[in-house]
Amino acid sequence: MRILLTILLILPTHIFAASNAETVNQIVAKYSAQCDAKQDAVEYGEVIPEAASLSVSDDSLYEIQITAEGKKATVLFADFSCHTIGASSWCGSSGCEVYIIVDGVSYQTRGWKPFTVTKSEEVFVMLPRSGGACGTHNGAPCHAVTVWDESENTFNSIGGLLR
């Protein structure tokens, strides 16, 4: 039994990964539970619409190409809305939680909606950040860059920006 546990611990986590859709559903379920918990805290007499659950805008879930060969990742930008708390619990001047999901594995950072730039057969994933991340005011432009390392099945960036 101990040997089996040791083997399971040293195997790469992507071997056990769910699909991108399953991972998105798990992430959204976590936020939905937070939204539902807030619904329970509503004061007596307050009227709540029937559709008081968590909502995700269409442009907050999308795909980006992460390699020149066409490998795709699913992006989930967590600017969710919940009747009693809005998005303020999850987003602020530094952006929102951002999930980039590849082969069912979620990589997380904070900022704005990622996009890609392709140059000379290389694909760069641009991670818009708050200006504070670059040592200036929050409204200043600031971007971090990462690339997908196919041989390691992970993103490579300075400072391990995606975790």
Q: Which contiguous run of DSSP H or E holds residue 9?
A: helix 2-10
Residue with tokens 């269409």: 58
List the one residue out of 140, 139, 146 whose CA is nearest residue 117: 146
Band (pLDDT 50/70/90 cuts) for residue 41 is low
Average pLDDT over the chain reads 81
Task: Dump pLDDT digits (tens) for 72-120.
Answer: 999 999 998 887 666 667 888 888 999 999 999 999 999 999 999 999 8
pLDDT at 10: 42
Tokens representing residue 148 in the block: 């997908």
Query: What pLDDT is stored for residue 154 in this prediction?
Result: 92
Domain limits, the chain:
16-38+52-154
pLDDT digits (tens, 9 = 90+) for 133-152: 888 887 888 899 999 999 99
Q: Are 66 and 72 in contact (CB under 8 A)?
A: yes
